[in-house]
Chains A and B, each alone.
Chain A
Amino acid sequence: MPTDRVTVALSAIPNTGKTTLFNRLTASNQSTGNWPGVSVERKTGRFTLGEYDVELVDLPGAYSLSPATQEERIVARYFLEDPPDVVLNLLDARNLYRGLGLTLQMAMSGLPMVVAVNMMDEARAQGLRLDLEALAEHLGVPVVGISARTGEGIPELLETLYRVIRHPETTRPPHLPCPPVLEEAVRDLTRRLERSGVVRRLNPAFVAMRMLEDPRRPESPELAQRAADWRRRIEALTHAPLAVTCAQCRFNAARGLALEVTRRHPPGPDPRSEAIDRILLHRWLGLPAFLLVMAGLFQLIYGLGTPLQDLLARGFEAGAAWIQAQGLFQSLPGWLQSFVIDGLWQGVGVVLSFFPIIVLFFVLMSLVEDSGYMARAAFLMDRLMHGLGLDGKAFINLLLGFGCNVPAVMGTRILSSPYNRIVTMLLIPFTLCSARLQVFVFLAAIFFDARTAPWVILGLYAASFAAVVGIGLVLRALRLAGRPEPFIMEIPPYRLPTPGTVLLRSWQELKDFLYRAATLILAGVIVVWLLTHLPPGEPPAGPGTWAGRLGHLLAPVFAPLGIHWQETLALLFGFIAKEIVIGALAVIYGTAELGQALAAGMTPLGALSFMVFVLLYTPCVATVAAIRAESRSWRVTLLSVTLGLTSAWLASLLVYQGGRALGLA
């Protein structure tokens, strides 16, 4: 029976195959949460190792413990406040130098540590020979060569891990030669820390380094002051930011170490990746190839997903019919019947309807990301997004938003900085998704002749692009989401994605969506039902319901846009899902001949203004729920809804009043 609980932290710099190893060790036994106070995912998994119940914490991919990015701050803080029992550090065999910087920093902590050198198989194929024993000797910790993809070396890794857990030895921290003033500062702070008498598992010199780098959060105000003074002195003497000086010490040691353990050098960068990139990043072929990949992605996600969604929807209608046929159901009062079918059942239906596209979206996005093409796509598209302060990856999310906003918002998780994530998820709701397209196609066919209608739709697409760019510029100018960060992106070698990792990721995203977004979606649908069916006795969506009264109340606001209360009411329904606007209009007008009824009350200009409003106004409840789940911030969620409503009102006003001024009414 496993009894003892141990925490093992898995750390690695990006593109080292950390996720593959994490999945291999913990398989399906994973859970996600988030790191305290930030919107970065905290993944943990469990596995048993002899008599130990091991909790494996997947640390965010950070290049160092110096707090330059959010991920690095999280990792540094985790080490200081809640140090793990054992550190499992992962290196890429093909580029030891790059990873050793972090390894050395972690080894300084003095915590028991195991180093796994990943991708040994690929390194061998490239003709690289490594002396892992020499590496182990220099680092003073056990080193195991593995391949997380093939499973090579995993038993040995587990055995080593078991040994270290059983006999945890404090690591002898490696000594890094640094400029004298830095060493002096560390010595001084170390002395003071030791004198303060706080007994910790961490090496005091490690804590001293962290204090120098981030003087805001150490032990006492007096020490904080001391650390800040030292930092100023060091920076004045070295003429460089402290983080750079520290990196220089680490990487000097890392370079020596990497040279010493590398027995045979590989022939430069991966030749296979070079060959592929000669085409995929070619000056003329690169962009067409990118468009082809994107078109393929779009078709596979939505071309395959939409029929599946329709199938699900039909299943749900059949389910509703079945429920309505039950004796028990028929014995319920009418309002309760309506609540069950139009409220609860529909809410569940909305949640479920996203399943096919979410799964397809993440299967394909994982393929694109894990293969290494995502970085290439970002490189190709970077120039376009630069003006908005975003990087190239955001382009892909925005593009896929044109199919459905919900998975696109969930996909912002792959973006590199909080700024990128927030701005992109605020912009995605302005992309013309397929649900809105249904509304536009229906309305354009009623109000415009067959020659004009396609141009109206095209114009709406143009308006959608313009809105994304315009709102993006406004967000950048107002700094509502912080500052853009410098763009430095690694271009990893191409790699075959592992099916297990891809499927596991999609399954987890689906679970996350269910846990984090479903409640909010259901709540949204039920609120709309309540508004449109209460007080009891009123005909649903009639002028006497709360929604109807709200529509009348808001009439003065919508009058300058040429939108009547009936349409305002339909917009409320559109919050559930934008394609519902049409069905809602049919219910509100109480007629099957919706086209005639609409045409009688509305001018083409009014219809255009209405369409612009539908394009821009609040994202549907599922998108709002996804934004809330991804940003974990009500402020961002509220900002998204507000941005939508204000820009929709302004744009519709412009269209309607502008059109009237031109005499189009």
Chain B
Amino acid sequence: MRRQRGDRVRLSCPPVPGCRCRIRGLGRDAALAERLSRMGILPGMALEVTRVAPLGGTVELAVDPGQRLALRSGELAALDCEPLVLPLSHARLFGDRPLRVRGFAGGRALRIRMGARGLQPGTVLRLLDGASSAPRMVLAGGDPLTLGRGEARRVLVEPADAH
């Protein structure tokens, strides 16, 4: 993470489905900022990565009022965004804070499987080894849990102190 003007840490939204961010700034690329702003995409808005193209490199975003956009991941990375919801696989971007399960990017089968392991919407947990993409964690009850890499991408978490 690079330091920007002042003390603000420049954050960005990783190009993974389920990631939800709030735009803080449109980035330093003036051409990109102008093009986004004229479409009404401005600081303060929330955006969510809904899909990654099969060949990679391009993401689909849902922007606040039901608008869908395609953007390249490089351009997404140029935006200054504060993550609101992240998949567990990228939850280290939240730092050391306790996390709460927000939902699952998947169907009923995934929900049941995760429920059986103690994860359901609202479960609070703390990451032990955030650096690995197959994260180990402790649930609020004290039970340790390790998820597979694929599973971790589909469990969406937010900081437990968020509303």
Across-interface contacts of A72 in B (CB, < 8 A): 38
B113 at the interface (CB under 8 A from A): no
Interface segment out of the listed A135-143, A176-184, A374-382, A397-405 = A374-382
Binary A-proximity of B110-135 (CB < 8 A = 1, otherwise 0): 00000000000000000000000000
Given known pairs A379-B53, A379-B60, the reply for A386 and B72 (CB within 8 Å) is: yes
In Å, the complex CA distance between A604 and B54 comes to 42
A510 at the interface (CB under 8 A from B): no
Q: Looking at B5, B43, B51, which has the most chain A CB atoms within 10 Å of its CB?
A: B51
Contact A94 B58 (CB under 8 A): no
Binary B-proximity of A532-570 (CB < 8 A = 1, otherwise 0): 000000000000000000000000000000000000000
Contact A239 B38 (CB under 8 A): no
Interface segment out of the listed A242-250, A457-465, A637-645 = A242-250
**A52-110 interface (Cβ within 8 A of B):** 63-64, 66, 68-69, 72, 94-95, 97-98, 101
Across-interface contacts of B26 in A (CB, < 8 A): 240, 244
Q: Looking at B32, B33, B54, which has the most chain A CB atoms within 10 Å of its CB?
A: B54
Contact B70 A491 (CB under 8 A): yes
Contact B58 A379 (CB under 8 A): yes
In Å, the complex CA distance between A379 and B30 comes to 23
Contact B68 A488 (CB under 8 A): no
Contact B62 A269 (CB under 8 A): yes
In Å, the complex CA distance between A380 and B40 comes to 25
Least CB separation from A254: chain B residue: B40
A443 at the interface (CB under 8 A from B): no
A-B CB contacts (within 8 Å), total count:
130
In Å, the complex CA distance between A383 and B29 comes to 21
Across-interface contacts of B43 in A (CB, < 8 A): 248
Contact B40 A98 (CB under 8 A): yes
Which one, B39, B40, B60, contacts A491 given CB within 8 A? B60
In Å, the complex CA distance between A66 and B40 comes to 13
Across-interface contacts of A486 in B (CB, < 8 A): 29, 31-32, 35, 72, 75
Across-interface contacts of A383 in B (CB, < 8 A): 53, 55-58
Q: Looking at A241, A268, A379, A383, which has the most chain B CB atoms within 10 Å of its CB?
A: A379
Across-interface contacts of B140 in A (CB, < 8 A): none
In Å, the complex CA distance between A150 and B71 comes to 33
Known: A98-B65, A251-B40, A386-B57. 19 other contacts (CB 8 A): A64-B38, A95-B65, A240-B25, A241-B30, A244-B33, A248-B43, A269-B66, A281-B51, A283-B52, A284-B54, A286-B54, A287-B55, A380-B54, A380-B55, A382-B55, A383-B57, A486-B31, A487-B72, A491-B70
Interface residues of A (CB under 8 A from B): 63-64, 66, 68-69, 72, 94-95, 97-98, 101, 239-241, 243-244, 247-248, 251, 254, 258, 266, 268-270, 277, 281-284, 286-287, 375, 378-384, 386, 392, 485-492
29 A–B contacts from the bound complex (CB under 8 Å): A63-B38, A63-B39, A68-B34, A68-B38, A72-B38, A98-B39, A98-B67, A239-B5, A241-B30, A241-B33, A241-B34, A243-B34, A247-B37, A248-B37, A258-B65, A286-B53, A286-B54, A379-B53, A379-B58, A380-B54, A381-B55, A382-B55, A383-B53, A383-B58, A386-B58, A488-B71, A490-B68, A490-B70, A492-B68
